[in-house]
Amino acid sequence: MSRYYTRACNFYYGVKSKLLVKKNKALPLHGNSEISFDKIEIITRKSKKLISFHDINKLSFGIKKKLKKDIILITKKKKNIKSLSFKTIPNIMGVLNITPDSFSDGGKYFKNVAAKKQLKLLFNSGANLVDIGGESTRPGSKAIKTKVEWNRIKNVLQSIDKKKFISLDTRKSDIMEKGIKLGVKLINDVSGLNFDKKSIQILKKYKTPFVLQHSLGNPDIMQKNPKYKNVLLDIYDFFEKKLNYLRQNGIYHNNIILDPGIGFGKNLKHNITILKNISIYHSLGFPILLGMSRKKFIKEISDINDSNSRIGGTISSSIFAVMNGVQILRVHDVNETKQSIKVFKELIK
């Protein structure tokens, strides 16, 4: 029997969206009439079919039941994760790498004074939350010792304003626990909680919200000829399986954010396929985070027009993500991203 997946598509934004929702010609995404959709793509591993949401009742009983269940999850209003609200999207997650070797800004904020200054700047520029990390997970990087990672970030974490929403980018349970005790509100583990088996127990103990990211292997090998049967659906199945595993291990809360992991064990074709069809993950019922900022796929597309910062590619992909209802964008250039989205929203009114 075929497995069916549901992707919301054909989105509307702003005033037009509100009008269509009012007339029942479109469905609000996450209960927000500012962004809506009127088409559903029914996907299997062998086929795709695009229909209007009004035509769901014309389908066979089994498919109709599946689609209606998924639409409830797609249209259901998202609850806050601590102080992080989803009433308006997107939320901007600023990036603070306190490392000597991150792919884009390695060494730039390695000293405490520079890191603290950048943290303040990211929030002043409009970041809703900031993701602090002390270990580079760029392609080809190797894991560092827990002590080394903690020594890089501890001074900044010890000085954070408890009112600010701080995310901690780490794969190690010891660092997770220390960070949570210092006021970290979200754990962002790029390994999908696979690197350190104790991580789940720490998250369970403190009931801490976290990002569940997909990655094909560890950073040192993840870009060595990554392969999938179907990258879009394989990642969907990974999320579903992992969420069930977390429930079985005592994590019952819904303070979970999904990240398909752009560039983590994916080539250009994989990344583009995910981004073009990102709205499929709304049917899992959790907020979506995308980290596209300055990544290699931008260089691969833009070729000789690429710049070191890749701001243009970051902004264009960010606006595309907003149009597909992505709730959180992880970016280095907070001011430029916020500015572009404000202008976009004004023009789309």
Q: Tell how strand 48-52 and strand 289-290 pair up.
A: unpaired
Active-site annotation holds for 295: yes
Identify whether 330 is a catalytic site residue: yes
Task: Decide: residue 85, CB within 10 A, 0-12 exposed, 13-18 middle, 19+ buried.
Answer: middle
First CA to last CA across the chain, in angstroms? 44
275 within 8 A of 324, measured Cβ to Cβ: no
| Selected catalytic residue, list 178, 185, 266, 295 | 295
Instruction: Check if the beta carbon of residue 325 is closer than 8 Å to that of residue 319.
Output: no
Q: Around 315, how many Cα atoms within 13 Å sit in the side-chain half-sphere?
A: 16
Question: Cα-Cα-Cα-Cα dihedral of 333, 339, 340, 343, to 10°?
Answer: 180
| Neighbouring residues of 64: CB distance < 8 A, sequence distance ≥ 6 | 56, 57
Rounded Cα distance between 222 and 300, Å, is: 18
Three-state secondary structure call for residue 40: strand
Residue with tokens 């280095």: 332
Residues recognised as catalytic: 295, 330
